[in-house]
Chain A
Amino acid sequence: MTAPALLVALPVVGPLLAAGGTLLLRRSLRAQRVLALGVVAAVAADAAVLLAAADAHGPAVAHLGGWPAPLGITLVADRLAALLLLTSAVVTLAVLGYAVGQGIVDDTPGTDGTSASHPATSRPDASGAVTGNSGSPGAASNPPAGGHSRHRDAGQSSIFNTCFLALVAGVALAYLTADLFNLFVAFEIMLSASYVLITLDTTASRIRAGMTYVIVSLTSSLLFITMLALVYASTGTVTFAGLATAVPGLPGGLRAALSLLGLVVFGIKAAIVPLHFWLPDSYPTAPAPITAVLAALLTKVAVYALVRTHTLVFPHSGTWPLLLGAAVATLLVGALGALAQENLNRTLSFLLVSHIGFMLFGLSLFTVIGLSGVILYMVHHIVVQATLFLGSGLITRYAGTSVPRRTGGLASAVPLVAALFAIPALSLSGVPPLSGFVAKLALLRAGARAAGPGGGADRTGVYVAVAAMLLASLLTLLVMVRVWVYAFWRRPRPARPDPAPEDHLAVGTATVSRAMTGATAGLVAVGLAFPLAAGPLSGLTARAAQDLLRPAAYERAVRETAR
């Protein structure tokens, strides 16, 4: 393997090996953390190198094991994959830093995290009251706050690092893979890790949420296998490059059926509106860093898969009305859903659904400028969504509740947190100098271009979608301002903890380590740097979008290196 090939393989292989390493190091939490942080930082650096190389010399390709393209596992780092990989790696690094700061389960000896805090002990108590009995390991053991619970927490921590690294590997593989079957495997790696993360601490509410999440994801995975089998049966290949040449030769009906199946599969994973029900029920129950990384990455990886397959494999010539309609529905249902929520994490989850609609809109246009907007929006949204969930974690820590209405006046108590939450909140709403404005402007311009003279045929649809985007932005602003005012701006009042805290280990302890605030501040800074680099960045995304609509270079790179 040549040096570039090694660089392409590192983001996948590195975290996987490190995940194994954390299992070996399970006796030392510190060593695990150093390993995890080091590997994720290395992935980020590697992604930056890959991005520079892909922008200068075209896609870098690695054939794992030396097997050529149709049979072996091929990884391709083109501009789009490298850019998203870089963004994701930066975000995961910050989230990991936050998780280390939180101690993810507060098992640091000496602090009141485990030994003295009631939430940690009141939880088994609560479950015991619910089941009322009976030989079950969780319910029966209700220790006096000491050894057992600390021991259990330590075990969870080691699994957290392992799963987190596996998740990073899965995300990287999803971006880099050059065939549909490996995309499936990547999704499974990523989802399996997320299943464990979401049910890391098996309380009743997490089991309920995790159950929905696992079953829905599993169903979409089974549909994915079905699609794979049908695609292979009709074309004889699953590589993107091979499919790009084979699919246009298929009968139109078959092509449409396969493309719709793909839309459903990735639509479930990306939470497109008729298929979004699982998301607001499952994400908010996990601890803040886990929710942050899942919300930031998983849906965006699905959107990436949608972009990749529907440009390379099932290309469309003009606007796709079906996707346009789904985008409008997603925008409005998500925003209105967020308006009806009181719990901050649920609010943010509905906003996540709503903002998937922006990306769908850009994709549905199938123009260079539209896809460029999608890529910009994905980069912006990965950063901002993670920041918001981390900020929500900070609020929950200080206020003892994740319902903004139950607290107030935090701005005078913790002005830094108020700022750290306000900036990404405004950015998500698209307030001018911030990253959301840049991304939204790109999408609105794409819409105006498509609806203008010489644009696509479906003018009314595009106008409706543009109006829906503006409305959704406005609603986002409304929701965010309401949250901020409730949490930060009223008269200070004593914390009134949730009766059934979802992040029970965090609530009420009011211990916020410097690493948690620092990680959040770091992500806010990344979000602030985005508009400063908007010029070069949008140039890069435009080139990446051109690659997507003219996949010849991608195919050539895969073919040539195969020999």
Chain B
Amino acid sequence: MTPGVLAAAAATLNAPPGPGPSAVPPADGAVVNLTSTLVVAGLYAVGTYLLLQRALMRVVMGVALLSHGTNLLLLLVGGRSGRPAMTGAVTPAAMSDPLPQGMALTSIVITFALTTFLLAIVYRAFTLLGNAEVRDDVEDHRLHALEERLEAQHAHLPHPHVPSAHLPHRHAAQPRATRPGGAGHPGGAAAGLEGTSPEDTSPEGAGPGGIGPDGTGPGGIR
């Protein structure tokens, strides 16, 4: 952006002293392009739908589409399309508003960078966990563990960690956790997750399955 652009924009915006209700940018009857509006609405809809998916790549796509939608919305705010944003070509009154374009540029840079970062995390999740899906959160696992303990007590089983065939709940959770990448290690991803919390629920160490060698210290975990 050259100073000239901003100066001209200042001239258009500051025509009445100070910004006020009279400085509304989409001048000449506030015409909004219907096509662009529909595109923005479509991008928002599809983006939101994808954002609610379980597969992380779809979530990333959703974020990307949503950010396109917002950037387009910012452009739409700047007034009718087809008008120059530069001085010299037309009179200041016939220019489009450059401020939303500046905002859109900033927002494009930010959303682009963050989408890249998100992709990096997704890749990391894929390498670490064997799949790229939204994980169950910690509370989910605590509830699972609690439910298993209760079920085990009901069945008068001596030890809570029985084969998973007796536990329909866990059984149902299993395929989802391992579907895409971790075919070679069916229990792997789930085991890695469990490590994050269920032990917290165990009273004084006699937890489900125990922590393994309790006295060996952190070195003996694996």
Interface positions of B (Cβ within 8 A of A)? 6, 9-10, 13-14, 18-21, 23-26, 51, 56, 59, 63, 66-67, 70-71, 73-74, 76-77, 99-100, 103, 106-107, 110-111, 113-114, 117-118, 121-122, 124-125, 127-130, 134-135, 137-139, 182, 184-185, 188-189, 191-193, 195-197, 199-201, 203-205, 211-212, 214, 217-219, 221-222
Contact = CB atoms under 8 A, between A and B. Distances in A.
A547 B60 CA distance: 42
Contact of B125 (A67, A208, A281, A507): A208
A228 B199 contact: no
A218 B192 CA distance: 27
A315 interface: no
A122 interface: yes
Contacts of B125: 207-208, 211
Interface stretch (A82-90, A151-159, A232-240, A456-464): A232-240
A237 B128 contact: no
A71 B13 contact: yes
B200 A237 contact: no
A204 B192 contact: yes
Nearest to A248: B21
Given A214-B121, A222-B70, A225-B70, A233 B77 contact: yes
A226 B214 contact: no
B158 to A, nearest CB: 23
A204 B177 CA distance: 14
A119 interface: yes
Interface in A206-248: 207-208, 210-212, 214-215, 218-219, 221-222, 225-226, 228-230, 232-239, 242, 245-246
A329 B218 CA distance: 40
B184 A346 contact: no
Contact of A500 (B117, B122, B195): B195
Looking at chain A's contact residues, the main secondary structure is: helix
B204 to A, nearest CB: 7
A501 interface: yes
A129 B19 contact: no
Counting chain A residues whose Cβ lies within 8 A of the other chain, the interface size class is 35 or more
B185 A236 contact: no
Nearest to B138: A281
A118 B218 contact: yes
Nearest to B60: A215
B38 to A, nearest CB: 16
A499 B221 contact: yes
Contacts of B127: 131, 136-139
A138 B128 contact: yes
A70 B100 contact: no
Interface of A: 67-68, 70-71, 118-119, 122, 125-127, 129-133, 136-139, 181, 184-185, 188, 192, 195-196, 199, 202-205, 207-208, 210-212, 214-215, 218-219, 221-222, 225-226, 228-230, 232-239, 242, 245-246, 249-250, 277, 281, 342-343, 346, 400, 403, 405-406, 496-502, 504, 507-508, 559
B70 A188 contact: no
Nearest to A228: B103
Nearest to A133: B184
B10 to A, nearest CB: 6
Nearest to B113: A192
Contacts of A181: 103, 106
Contact of B129 (A122, A130, A229, A230): A130
A181 B100 CA distance: 10
B195 A222 contact: no
B111 A207 contact: no
A281 B128 contact: no
Contacts of B74: 225, 228-229, 232
Q: Which 10 A-B pairs have the closest CB atoms?
A: A136-B127, A118-B219, A130-B192, A500-B195, A242-B19, A237-B19, A225-B70, A249-B21, A236-B23, A233-B77
A130 B25 contact: no
Given A132-B188, A185-B106, A498-B199, A246 B205 contact: no
Contact of A122 (B14, B184, B221): B221
Given A214-B118, A218-B118, A499-B199, A122 B219 contact: yes
B192 A199 contact: no
Nearest to B114: A218
B218 A497 contact: yes
B201 A342 contact: yes
Chain B CB within 10 A, most for which of A130, A210, A249, A498: A130
Given A118-B219, A225-B107, A131 B114 contact: no
B9 A400 contact: no
A214 B114 contact: yes
Contacts of A222: 63, 66-67, 70, 111
13 contacts: A68-B14, A70-B13, A70-B19, A122-B221, A127-B192, A131-B182, A202-B128, A207-B129, A228-B74, A234-B24, A238-B103, A250-B21, A499-B199
B75 to A, nearest CB: 9
B20 A242 contact: yes
Chain B CB within 10 A, most for which of A136, A225, A249, A405: A225
Nearest to A234: B24
B128 A246 contact: no
A230 B103 CA distance: 13
A403 B189 CA distance: 24
Contacts of B103: 181, 228-229, 232, 238
B128 A127 contact: yes
A133 B14 CA distance: 63
A277 B23 CA distance: 41
B111 A215 contact: no
Contacts of B114: 188, 192, 195, 214, 218, 221
Contacts of B205: 406, 496
B10 A68 contact: yes
B115 to A, nearest CB: 8
A236 B196 CA distance: 50
B77 A229 contact: yes
B121 A245 contact: no
